[in-house]
Copies of this chain bind each other. A is one copy, B any other.
């Protein structure tokens, strides 16, 4: 039983099964167009901490949902995440050349292919949800949730706000609004997809929604701290890039010490939101600690 596993063992187990599930939901190179399918696999497989699938599986565990069923929303949200990284790295966006320690997709392949990789991964995410082994009503709930979280009032909207804010002084309120969309929407969706997949009731969804909002911001605050403190080698992407691009970050706005205090506060709020779930919230609690303490 996975509930007797230590947290690191459980995490490794979920990461492994997510990798296998992603592979099974991506077309192989044997299918035309081979180069596009190769690039989709390059952008999705063999890297990443799989934080979103972990959150999805952990939230589904609250409702004793099977890992097999949760693989579907876990893969869908990870495909959306992978597509957003590929498009984010493009020259017209962040123009980044390194991601997870490897050349970014448009560097390894080409810009046009990277554009299509992102587009096709987004379609694939919705296809995977439509194929989930749960009833049609739950599938539609999950699809609606992921579409909202990905779109102009979710992740894509957050990226637009980020673009508009680059090089400008923004307030802490504006920074939170941006991150609640850019990073938060998909982190939040990861938790709620797991809950919807497991047939959560309105009360449980309310608690998980509050938790999900806090963990979304927490994830970003920690990311901003890591961008300052970690080296490029341990980070697997270009470190110090936010400061170099004059991006608004929690560290820029609050200073390092206050950003760390902010992280501690969000962590307590997230943990508090899990209390009503009792023992079922164990993995979510452990993931919260992991997100704060991860050092790459």
Contacts and interface: CB of A to CB of B under 8 A. Distances in A.
Interface residues of A, number: 54
Nearest to A94: B112
Given A130-B147, A147-B130, A40 B152 contact: yes
A140 B31 CA distance: 25
Given A37-B152, A123-B154, A160 B116 contact: yes
A229 interface: no
A94 to B, nearest CB: 9
Interface in A37-87: 37, 40, 83-84, 87
Nearest to A131: B144
A118 interface: yes
B116 A31 contact: no
Contact of A152 (B27, B139, B150): B27
A111 interface: yes
B136 A140 contact: yes
Interface of A: 27, 31-33, 35-37, 40, 83-84, 87, 90, 92-93, 110-113, 115-116, 118-120, 122-124, 126-127, 129-131, 135-137, 139-140, 143-144, 146-148, 150-154, 156-157, 159-161, 163-164, 177
